[in-house]
Amino acid sequence: MMGSINIRPFKLFMLLATSLLLVSCAAGDVRFSQDTPAGFWYGLWHGVISFITLVIHLFNESVSVYEINNSGGWYDFGFLLGVISIWGGGCHVSCKTAATKRREKEWEEIGDKVEAKVMRKLKRWSEDEDGTEASAGWDEIGEKVEKKLKRKIREWAEKD
């Protein structure tokens, strides 16, 4: 119990320190002007910390998400790469799709096995009383099962 009490303030301190470190280089800094605009690398960094600066911007208007005094296309390109690197690009989508495909394939295999087992059981159940052998088609097995169910329900209903 004592160990968790000491860890919690440390985690809080590290979160606060990390947030302050990230925001210390946020867009809207006075070091950028028309003479010294933010370039590609600052655009990349501002894109990476964009979510944090957005949250801070909601409470403090002096912090901007995007640097107005920038070098143009290269800053924009860096900013876009920074945002994509944090919020996901093609890699995240393909990794998720591969995992999803793998899960779907597993469920499809399980479904096929269950279907085959149910078909075998229904076939046996439909043949129990008739003594006739049904073909492997679902239509014929379904018809036999339906006839047997109707007969069983009719027998049950007429008992009272």
Q: Do 61 and 29 belong to one domain?
A: yes
Residue 120's CB: how many other CB atoms inside 10 A? 12
Q: pLDDT tens digit string along 93-137?
A: 556 677 888 888 898 898 888 888 887 887 777 776 555 555 556
Q: Which residue type sits at 78?
A: G
Q: Model pTM? A: 0.44
- Using the structure block, give the residue that is written with the tokens 């269950």: 114
Q: Do 83 and 17 belong to one domain?
A: yes
Residue 124 lies in a domain: yes
Answer with the one of 54, 87, 120 that is the final residue of a domain.
87
- Helix residue ranges per DSSP H, 24-137: 40-48, 50-59, 73-87, 90-130
Q: Do 16 and 81 belong to one domain?
A: yes
| Proportion of the chain above pLDDT 70, given as a percent | 76
Q: Do 67 and 133 belong to one domain?
A: no
Q: pLDDT tens digit string along 21-67?
A: 666 666 666 677 777 888 888 888 888 888 888 888 888 887 788 88
Half-sphere exposure in the Cβ direction for 110 (13 Å, CA): 6
CA-nearest of 59, 65, 80 to 29 is 65
